[in-house]
Amino acid sequence: MIVPAGVPESIAACADAIRAGALVGLPTETVYGLAADADNATAVAAIFAAKGRPADHPLIVHVSAHDGGISGVAHYCADVPPFAQQLIAAFWPGPLTLILARRAAVAAAAAGGQDSIGVRCPSHPAAQALLAALRHTAPGQQPVWGLAAPSANRFGRVSPTTAEHVQSELGAQLLVLDGGACDVGIESTIIDCTRGSPVLLRPGAITREQVEQVCARKLLTNEELQAQSLQAPRASGTLESHYAPQARVRLMDAQALQTALELLRDAARQSASNGGAVAPSIAVYARVGIKRVPEQVLLKRMPLDAASTAQQLFAALRAFDDAGVKLIWVETPPDTPDWEAVRDRLQRAAA
């Protein structure tokens, strides 16, 4: 059931559901999450079951912006190094997740059994309204310190960026707080803070250059740390294959894409002249202007800037699936820092 985020009764109903151990579809600025009390192991297990997600694949915990997120971090985390504190001050609330050492007594199920935990403070007003409501307690109640909230979709599939996406993916019975379309559209940047230096585990809207500027140090890659036998913690969205639609995704440069479309058009023309069947439906998502698009091709223009592409990317992939295409040909994004997060999502979708 979808309920509007701007209504106090909706926030109260979602808070009651969370306290009762139920799951709620939660809007954030990145994507919609499937939320439960991060300290309720039974509710967290229901997230894994609903998504079909392996129980050792950790969830990100979302905390309130009250006092800059410090009290939420203190509840879940055993150690916050100085560079992590700088990142919190600079980017929270916002699309940045920090992997920190976990306090032994809390959120083991949400952390996938690891001694580290991912935490972030979302900037979406509806998410913060729900987190604030859960911090306020009636007599006999305990505060809910954070919400475990992975993307509200089946494991490995395209993340949802509207309430309707969540409902179509997980069913009409789920309570979904409708906060509108997500502004960022792809998941948060993840920085591992457990190995002495900041390490990029997943790119996002907050770029490596922004992180390095705040930390005044180089942001390392996971491969650089693994070369020193420093194993990375498991983290959301870091599997080789992820964010995949039902259709198969193939990345091509602009020239290869135009050539493939010309071959497809010629083949379709030959098939039609022989009375053959129409070629399989294909979707194309590209920045370059496509000449002479075959009739059986569904074309959507990719925006010229990375931020706009990120905002619409998952919605575009879902729309292609809804249209019933079997193949999605995508123009490879530029190999520049601003496109890193979009390239990451598309490479995993194509894997």
CB 260 within 8 A of CB 268: no
Instruction: Return the beta strands (E) in 14-157 as ranges.
Output: 24-26, 33-37, 60-62, 77-79, 96-102, 116-120, 147-148
User: Can you tell me whether residue 119 is helix, strand or coil?
Assistant: strand
Residues contacting 336, CB < 8 A, separation 6+: none
Q: What's the confidence (pLDDT) of residue 268?
A: 64
Residue 247 neighbours by CB distance under 10 Å:
19
The owner of tokens 């579809």 is: 25
The owner of tokens 């709620």 is: 24
How far, in Å, CA of 170 to CA of 161, rounded?
14
Q: What's the confidence (pLDDT) of residue 310?
A: 97
Please choose, from the candidates 318, 32, 53, the residue with its C-alpha nearest in 3D space to the C-alpha of residue 176: 32
Pairing of strands 60-62, 147-148: antiparallel
Q: What's the confidence (pLDDT) of residue 141?
A: 83
Q: What's the confidence (pLDDT) of residue 279?
A: 46
Fill in the amino acid letter for 14. Answer: C
Fill in the amino acid letter for 243. Answer: Y
Q: What's the confidence (pLDDT) of residue 111?
A: 94
How far, in Å, CA of 149 to CA of 24, rounded?
9
Please choose, from the candidates 126, 98, 128, the residue with its C-alpha nearest in 3D space to the C-alpha of residue 188: 98
Listed by start position, the domains of the chain span: 2-226, 248-350
List per-residue pLDDT tens for the chain, 351 residues long: 999 999 999 999 999 999 999 999 999 999 999 999 999 999 999 999 999 988 889 999 999 999 999 999 999 999 999 999 999 999 999 999 999 999 998 999 999 999 999 999 999 999 999 999 999 887 888 899 999 999 999 988 999 999 999 999 999 999 999 999 999 999 999 999 998 889 999 999 999 999 999 999 999 887 777 666 666 777 776 677 778 899 999 999 999 988 888 888 776 666 555 555 554 589 999 998 877 777 778 899 999 999 999 999 999 999 999 999 999 999 999 999 999 999 999 999 998
| Architecture of the domain made up of 2-226 | Alpha-Beta Complex (3.90)
Q: What's the confidence (pLDDT) of residue 224?
A: 79
Enter the pTM of the model: 0.91
Give me the CATH topology for the region 248-350: Rossmann fold (3.40.50)
Phi and psi angles of residue 222, each rounded to the nearest 5 degrees, phi first: -60, -35
Q: What's the confidence (pLDDT) of residue 276?
A: 54
> Per-residue DSSP letters for 78-103?
EE--HHHHHHHHHH-SSSEEEEEEEP
CB 193 within 8 A of CB 83: yes
How far, in Å, CA of 145 to CA of 47, rounded?
17
How far, in Å, CA of 98 to CA of 113, rounded?
17
